[in-house]
Structure 1
Amino acid sequence: MVATDGEGLHFDSVLSQFDVKPLFGAGEISFYTPTNVTLWLFLIVVSTVAMLVVGTRGRAIVPNRSQSIAELTYGVVHKMVEDIAGKEALKYFPYIMTLFIFVLLANFLGLLPMAFTVTSHIAVTAVLAFAVFFTVTAIGFIKNGVHFLDLFWVRSAPLAIRPVLAVIEVISYFVRPVSHSIRLAGNMIAGHAVIKVFAAFAGIAAVAPVSIIAVVGMYAFEVLVAGIQAYVFTILTCVYLKDALHPSH
């Protein structure tokens, strides 16, 4: 990360930690090539199974630690869906729960030493965001038909400005998956990049103690951000689902 020589101090690129690399060899990456992204996506799936299946297999009345974590997560997401999108949205709870667990574990696993944060790549977050976008749009038209377009027609506004507001609503609707994906990826990239910058200064004796304190503080902050970003991603999904189920302003 950092090296010194007669010419001065040299820093590696802070973005090198986000490079997609093949697991075997150093050849070209094709769609079938196992990469570090593939590995960590697999580990996310394994962690999900360990948390929600293996951890709750006992189904004890007095839960152990792993069962308590799984039940708490289930309860938080269930209440989130019901409070934001209504009881009618609970039929879509498994999908939203899956999104939350995936983003949460991807963010937390990315904080491990030598790990790869898959949610730092827009290719991953865009797939998640566009999946939400197309899903809620389909639900909106299936449930409401053409009345789903009422979402863009602000009936509470004066008639003269409704067309202008409709254009704004349409633009903001189609921007949703972009903001949904960039928000998550941007926060993951920024936090990890700052940690690497602070860590690079640890090689300089004069500022090493300050650098270490800064890394510890930033790491603690990133743990908080990892949870918050998963929560925000899920809340926005619930808000979009609510609009699909109840499009009238």
Structure 2
Amino acid sequence: MATEAHGSEAAAEGSSLVFHPMDQFMVEPLFGDGAVGMFTITNSALWMFIAILAIVGLMVVGTSRRAIVPTRSQSIAELAYGFVYKMIEDVTGKDGLVYFPYIMTLFMFIVSANFLGLIPMSFTTTSHFAVTVVLAMAVFLTVTILGFVKNGSKFLGLFWVSSAPLALRPILAIIELISYFVRPVSHSIRLAGNVMAGHAVIKVFAGFAAIAVISPVSILAITAMYGLEILVAFIQAYVFTILTCVYLKDALHPSH
């Protein structure tokens, strides 16, 4: 009786619909099945390297001929260049263009990693806080150091709201200080959270596609979500980059 009960439970478990939408975000060794160490080559490292190769292929190899009538790759590279250049100029002014290479690198890495993550069986590196936190902290430290180097103690004027009544200024200064140090948290969570959520929803709909009755609806939902994720891949790279420009503006012109 116990054996039969156990067999029926196993059969029930085998026949049930089981899927794990978060498994796609697991960092695993690329070779072997051991633990992930500091120097282990993982699927995450592989896809970050592929993103770098894609950027080099587009921005260096794709524009090497510099034809008057541009090729497709050259057109995309020029559009990306002009897009980021205009963004920096509009947000930070001419002073911020000195930092164009850094901001352009950020944008190209994030947008490339996001789009590569949409390839079936790939790994989305920007869905991990370990990646986005490093990017956000790099921006935070760069902007903070730059603010003090460029403005000295005047950079602290960013936290002192001189237009507010004198009695409220200390309270507002504390609020501004807290919001400033929360920047890397919100900067990183916004990117990783949006990318992770979209991919998890697609995985959930893909799990329901195994059920014949709702399979057509599930396929339509996957198609719609995939189209939305293509848009999100670009928008999240844009949001991360334009926030970087806003923070850079604060460092260059803290009194503005």
Q: Which of the five TM-score ranges fits, normalised by the shorter chain?
A: over 0.9
Do residues 146 (structure 1) and 192 (structure 2) align? no
The Cα RMSD (Å) is: 1.1
Given candidates 209, 230, 233, the residue that maps to 1:226 is 233
Encode CA deviations 1:40-77: one digit per residue, 9 max, x unaligned: 01101100100100100000111111100000000000
Q: In the alignment, which of 71, 77, 84 is matched to residue 70 of structure 1?
A: 77
Match in the other structure for 1:174: 181
TM-score (norm 1): 0.97
Flag structure 2 segments of 5+ consecutive residues without an equivalent: 1-10
Unpaired runs of 5+ in structure 1?
A: none
Where 1:10 maps in the other structure, the secondary structure is coil
Residue 10 of structure 1, CA deviation: 2.8
Q: Which runs of 4+ in 1 moved over 4 A?
A: none
2:89 corresponds to which of 76, 82, 86: 82
1:25 equivalent in structure 2: 32
Task: Determine the structure 2 residue equivalent to 1:159.
Answer: 166
Q: How do residues 71-150 of structure 1 correspond to structure 2 at under 5 angstroms?
A: 71-150=78-157
Does structure 1 retain, via aligned residues, the 8 Å contact 2:19–2:204? no
Q: Match for 1:210: what amino acid? A: V
Partner of 2:18: 11
* CA deviation after TM superposition for structure 1 residue 29, in Å: 1.0
- Distance in structure 1 (CA, Å) of the matches to 2:40 and 2:17: 32
The AA in structure 1 aligned to 2:110 is: V
Equivalent-residue separation in structure 2 for 1:114 and 1:104 (angstroms):
18
Q: Using the alignment, how far apart are the partners of 2:71 and 2:24 within structure 1?
A: 36
Asked whether 1:235 is paired with 2:249, we answer no
TM-score by length of 2: 0.94
